[in-house]
Amino acid sequence: DIQMTQSPSSVSAFVGDTVTITCRASQPITRWLSWYQQRPGQAPKLLMYAASNLLSDVPSRFTGSGSETEFTLTITSLQPEDFAIYYCQQSHRFPLSFGAGTRVEI
């Protein structure tokens, strides 16, 4: 099975800051990596797929990069609504697997 490791597990930041979250795969997954945002009490929301393809309703301050085993999600100019938990998910091979999440706190 492919293990996904996210770092950091939590990060504190101010509105306007830039935050970078890293997701590492235990084996190469080409670019089959998605990012989700989960706000308290809500279902996860897909932000990005195939490592860097942003959904049309997601602000451009979210960017993704990486391939094979190392990926990053960068949020520039943090907004109050960005404070949430972010998960990565690999879809290269079954079983599909998620990272443990990164909490972005004020």
Task: List interacting residues with other proteins (CB under 8 A).
Answer: 1, 32, 34, 36, 42-46, 49-50, 55, 87, 89, 91, 94-101
For the bound state, the minimum distance from the C-beta of residue 101 to other proteins, rounded and expressed in Å, comes to 5
Closer residue to other proteins in complex, CB, 49/71 = 49
The residue among 14 and 94 lying less far from other proteins, judged by its C-beta, is 94
Asked if 24 and 70 count as a contact pair (C-beta separation under 8 A), the reply is yes
Beta bridge partners of 11: 104
Cα separation, 46 vs 68, in Å, equals 20
The distance of closest approach from Cβ of residue 38 to other proteins in the complex, given in angstroms and rounded to an integer, is 8
Q: Which residue has the tokens 């990164």?
A: 102
Distances (CA, A) of 97 to 18, 58, 81, 90, 106: 27, 23, 26, 6, 28
Q: Give the shortest CB-39-to-other proteins separation in angstroms.
A: 12
Looking at beta carbons only, is 16 or 40 nearer to other proteins?
40
Q: Which residues pair with 54 in a beta bridge?
A: 48
CB of 22 to other proteins, least distance (A): 16
